[in-house]
Amino acid sequence: MSEPQTYEFAEVIVGFLNDADGMISFLQVRTLTGDETTPDYGHGYLEALNQMGAQGWQLHSEREATEGRIMWIWGALQRSGEQGPHQWNAREFLMTRPVRD
């Protein structure tokens, strides 16, 4: 009898925020092994999904990024303002891929 397939998950958040330092675009990928935040990511949602797809990831779900996630990304970007972003637009994607032995 074969073993059931095991999957790993990634959260991908793509968008921009605007704060006292100005506007910045970003890509953040969160996996079990950690977070990677890319500032000045000007390629948008489709390119981020294409990049993840090239690594074997498949889209599971999509939603508007919440304020809590935006604040978390803002902190990772190490912006100098103390008030946080006053405007943002971002989408959060849940990605899955099979775990290979």
Listed by start position, the domains of the chain span 7-98
- pTM given for the model: 0.89
Model confidence at 20: pLDDT above 80: yes
* Residue in the block written with tokens 């079990």: 32
Residue 2: pLDDT over 90: no
* pLDDT score of 1: 60
Instruction: Provide the pLDDT for residue 79.
Output: 86
- Residues contacting residue 14 through CB under 8 Å, at least 6 positions apart: 26, 27, 28, 41, 44, 45, 48, 90, 91, 93
Residue with tokens 């099979």: 98
Inter-CA distances, 91 with 54, 64, 73, 82, Å: 19, 5, 12, 24
DSSP designation for 65 = P
* pLDDT tens-digit series, residues 27-74: 999 999 999 999 999 899 999 999 999 999 999 999 999 999 999 999
